[in-house]
Structure 1
């Protein structure tokens, strides 16, 4: 009888061999030669130990607990994000250091400009005394002008890694000094041809304005921007604007761009394949054309006329014009507009400005706003009377509210002109007969588009006819309205200076010194140095028809030097002048001229550079305060740049701490615990050795079976 002891193949007594082999064959670990299950089991265990030993070896040799996603899938995902952030933060530190280097470059150049201003004030003080003759002052003035020229050279030449620093390339929309965080203006792209704007210093791991970047703006430090000039001089020769010269090119307008260049626009007959079309040309800061004649209007049927243009806060510009019977305003004249970047490439399609489409809408005027948006105003007679309307747009080009009536008093109103104000609002001026005669009116609106003031009359004398108002805002926040008036029997150009809230500063003054026959078609622009300039067409002053003339004024409205003849050509008529201030303190004027290009009317232009002289005792005395103001501007810029550098240094310290702590957190997840892993390594090493020994024993079992078979 066989007695089982609880384990296959083990018995207390074996009465016969049949019982032994029967129980052995019934066991799970049969004593066979075809399959060595014991060896297979040991081999599997040995493989597991070798695998774990390999993992430990990899971890100990790499120092990483997580080498593959299989080690810790969730941990790997977290670790890779942390690694990305650490790498980004370290690059952010390098970016901030680059920004500090840029600021130090700008500050060093401004330090030299400071030195030049100190010398200029010393020269002005010398020339201001009465112990020098005029000839001696001319000698003193020559050095004064040389210092001004050197300031201009420094401002234009100073760059960091190819990016200009002081020539307005890094100025923000409001002209603020030092660092800023404009929410509406595109940053400088890092190229010299693209739109201007503050440098965007990026240091964070995302793109959130409150956490990951801010802007470094360096204001315009050209001599004409920090120091008010006391004259202008021709910069080069008169030039023809239009390339296409067949038939008529007329009614031009010009606006300066933030990059120092400018854009001229005009109407041209037949160039778009039909009647009048609207064309434009972009120029760089050196006055070199960057484009050919750009066709602005995409709708070419009938007439498009009376273009106007404005620069925008993003460095681009907007052109607006009248269009006859253009859908969706196919009943009569409508006002259309097209937006462009600084290079003259269209942004989107042309669009209808006016909402009301019955009867005629025409005579548009547009201005860019500090927040990146813009305002259009025009004359509309859709109610039967001619009234002035406006439409405000945000920086994306979306209309803000509905079109709004500007004047609250009924009457016949024409020729509006609009200019943005430094507080984000804008002022509109227009001609109205609401008091029984043609007078010039003014109204101020806030940034929200709501009126801030009631409409007020501009002209002091209400006899005769006042027409063609133009408005421009000065660097100090005040603004000027110019207009043509026949109050003395012939037309003359008058102007009125207002403070930023619309209060008159003094009375109306006459701009033109030549008073024979008519002076008309005024244009106005502010200058980078703080003053302004007016231009107009003057009858027979050049001895043949109308010519183009201009006069420069300081910020208080005082005439500087004498009025200048802008147009070189004297034959036939030159008219419809438009003038725009440039970032270097100079101006550019355009006008149309009859038969100058031998083919009816053409559009011509002339650039002017600012001049600085102390040839007289009075001009030297005036420059004492002027230079003090310039030094304040420069040193305010330097102070804010210094504050920005300190902020960047603190930013760098914070970034380094963030990167250090994030690296520590990543290490906790990713790095191997050497002590723990070494313990596991030794354990797996011992188990592997034991399994290897047992595998050798298990492999010997079939030999025992062979012995049984052979009877051994």
Structure 2
């Protein structure tokens, strides 16, 4: 037995210390919730965990960065939306102003609104900011290449003269001489027109260093055309020897009981005839069921009357002596006799002097001749002559004839038939109008218009062809270097959009305004499309960053967090072993007491 060294106690004490240490470690892990509280717990695990923690914190901050980027893009798009609305209103005003129903004063009022809207676009582009960063009026572009150019072409054109010739038949007093081709008028006018076209495209490019940029290709073409026009009118007068232009023809007025007599192209030259009919004391509307074309020879007109079975066939025939025979055949198909009053009124040729068959002038005033049968009269006018004859051989002569022959003014011959037509019978009435003769000579009038133009065309072409890098904002969208998103910033000021001088009144060119506004709308829509696509990309980036952070947190937890159930098990085990070691150590410490028992003996 040894008392200097209690080896069992030493061994048990070491075991006790290990159990105490294990118990302390479990308590530390249970109290902190971490499996790794210090490097000695798991050196490699601690290193991995800290790297993951750096990634997690970086991803969380990147998520906030990306959200800021989305807000910035939304702010820029909101400004572009308002500018788009203004441009649409400007386009509407321009289309309104191009309507020629407006006066110059109306267009000036439209210009007032156009200019105010232009100023507001400029103001909006300068005021749209995010955290004091201007988004829509950037002028710090980096130009990579500029192939822009301007060109002006001047063209002169003298097209062949355009001649139009119209001929017509005219009647002139006898003795009028022919006229050779001569100028009767000449006028000069000048007109300036403008035509404007615009093409615009913005194409993404990659600069030599790999940076994303854009190529803007814009072509403005203004064509100014000045047209000086001279219109000279010539006339000539050539005599026509054609009997067709003295032969009498008649022309009726559709829907009226008026007939015009005259040679070809001179409708009223030989006078006019008005007809009216009364049946049984009432005027009746005439209905033409059929009739020959005006100017036909012989000609017919078939007339009926509402409310009656009365019909009249009227015949007109040109005779060899250049007169016209006019007959009426009245048929009464009613079951009773009909009282007919057919009244005619003739206006002789213009400024006629009426003479009887013997050549004696008729007295002035209203002259009544009864009976008219066998009567004939001549009418000599300044333009034409005519006669009128009443003879029973042509059918019944009128029952009454009156001549209104004023001392000054146009004479008139009135005659009518008042008769009874028995039921089922017919009666023929007639008179002869003519012979006709013309006091005018016939000419062909040639009207010649010669239009000569001198055209000066100026074509100004301005080409903008620029490769550029717009200013940009870089969004740190990840936890590591190089994980970025670039947001380009554009300029939508009025000068960059090309609308700073649009208007409808001088010195602005109205024709240019519509194309310029269309080009500005197209450019703004391109920027909005770029921002829309970029926002969709950023939103996907945000989702990916959040997903990555979530997965990293889960992975880091598995490395660093304590398994509470396992640690509780370890603690329980350590405590039990500690208690057992303590009990055994007590026994080991009692072994030296046995030596004292030997000494007592």
Q: When the two structures are superposed, what TM-score results if normalisation uses the length of structure 2?
A: 0.44
Larger Rg: 2
Tell me which of the two structures has the higher relative contact order, counting C-alpha pairs closer than 8 angstroms and 6 or more residues apart.
2
Question: TM-score normalised to the size of structure 1?
Answer: 0.38
